[in-house]
Amino acid sequence: MATLAINGGSPVRTRPFPPRRPFGEREVELAAQAIRSQNLFGPGGTMVPELERRFAALYGLSHATASTSGTAAIHVALGALNPEPGDEIITAPITDAGTVAPILFQNCVPVFADIDDTFNIDPRDVEAKITPRTRAIIAVHLFGNPCDLDALAAIARRHGVTLIEDCCQAHLTDYKGRPCGSIGDIGCFSLQQSKHMTCGDGGLTVTRDAALAERMALFRDKGWPRKPGARGYVLLGLNYRMTELQAAVALAQLDKVAEVVRRRNELGDRLSALISSAPGIIPAPVTPGGRHTYWSYGLRCVGHDPVRFAAALRAEGIPCGQGYIGKPIYLCMEPLAARRTFGTSSHPLDSCHGARRLDYAEGMCPRTEAILREMITLGIHEHLADADIADMAAGINKVAAGLHD
């Protein structure tokens, strides 16, 4: 048995892993074209509308609204939905603040459903959390692994609530032959630097509902229809307009995203196969009927101290994280945990408008809290070689066996 590097042995890998290089000459060409047009303003340009049209078509939908970020994309979805103050939005406890902040800014109350072994919200707990004030479910496809959308869509229909898919980590992620984002009522995507397709930052919100699409376009442009004549603002919205420069880069990325997703799926599935027998390790879960796209690779370390395992793996030359966000979002996002939102108030968490008071405290989602402690994350991207994945697997297998003994 080889001595672990953390104990003085030779590491599995001594050279750095290759970086991701998402941009090429096509992005440069289209960005230059946008600049030479002398107009980078989205509403007056051609590239933002083209991106919206092509992105919607990629998902088999009729409408897409471009915006400035994944957070904005989710806010556009909620703004179009127009919930009442004090309404409840059920979502996932393992996510970024960008999923939760739009809920608060729409004066709604975030409700967190616990997860199952897929790392995604458990439909049974979602249904248990529904109340007369529930307005929507935001299903987060964590790391690129799809939620159980059949069950969630059935729950949404049964209770008359809207199903929003947070696909910020899940571009072209397949669920039973359909892309995530096209199955719920609304899909939300991020174009941030780390995502499967990127323009540095940006967002897209998709739907098949024409009325929702109209409100989305208004909400991201301050409620302004931009019709001839006197100016008028028909609803309360924000300036989330994408620029032509962002759209230029995103259009070039649109031609690459299918291959990016295919390669990530191949690499992630290969890593799972190579570590399937590692003692005390559960490879990244894949939802039945789904195809994982591995924005990140998350495994569970159940037979070892996860902190010790991560330290030992890093000593082997394999970069990794332990615990992902550390604690569930309701504990690591201070506006929730400390009930400090606007000024010195806790609005909308203050029972205003008849809203239910929730205390965001440990024990709210016990399975989430336990799984986060066990979680180890590794970066996977399309520019890694098969040999890089082999080294990752060798490091995981070596540490799992060494700590097991």
Instruction: Kindly state whether residue 316 falls inside one of the protein's structural domains.
Output: no
pLDDT confidence of residue 355: 84
Share of the chain above pLDDT 70, in %: 100
Summarize pLDDT for 375-386 with one digit per residue, the tens.
999 999 999 999
Burial class (CB in 10 A: 0-12, 13-18, 19+), 301: buried
Give the pLDDT mean for 209-225: 98
222 in catalytic set: no
pLDDT confidence of residue 369: 98
pLDDT confidence of residue 405: 61
Summarize pLDDT for 158-176 with one digit per residue, the tens.
999 999 999 999 999 999 9
Residue 255 has pLDDT above 70, yes or no: yes
Q: Which of 129, 176, 195, 398 is catalytic?
A: 195
Beta-bridged to residue 221, according to DSSP, are 239
CA distance 352 to 292: 41
The CATH number of the domain where 176 resides is what?
3.40.640.10
Instruction: Kindly state whether residue 33 falls inside one of the protein's structural domains.
Output: yes
Instruction: Report which residue type is found at 99.
Output: T
Helix (H) or strand (E) holding 164: strand 162-166
Instruction: Kindly state whether residue 225 falls inside one of the protein's structural domains.
Output: yes
Which range marks the domain in which residue 79 is found?
25-256
Share of the chain above pLDDT 90, in %: 96
Instruction: Kindly state whether residue 72 falls inside one of the protein's structural domains.
Output: yes
Summarize pLDDT for 23-60 with one digit per residue, the tens.
999 999 999 999 999 999 999 999 999 999 999 999 99
Beta carbons of 371 and 255 less than 8 angstroms apart: no
pLDDT confidence of residue 326: 96
Instruction: Kindly state whether residue 356 falls inside one of the protein's structural domains.
Output: no
Helix (H) or strand (E) holding 187: strand 186-190
pLDDT confidence of residue 353: 84
Number of domains in the chain: 1
Give the pLDDT mean for 95-102: 98
**Residue 138, Cα to own-chain centre: how many angstroms?**
11
pLDDT confidence of residue 1: 72
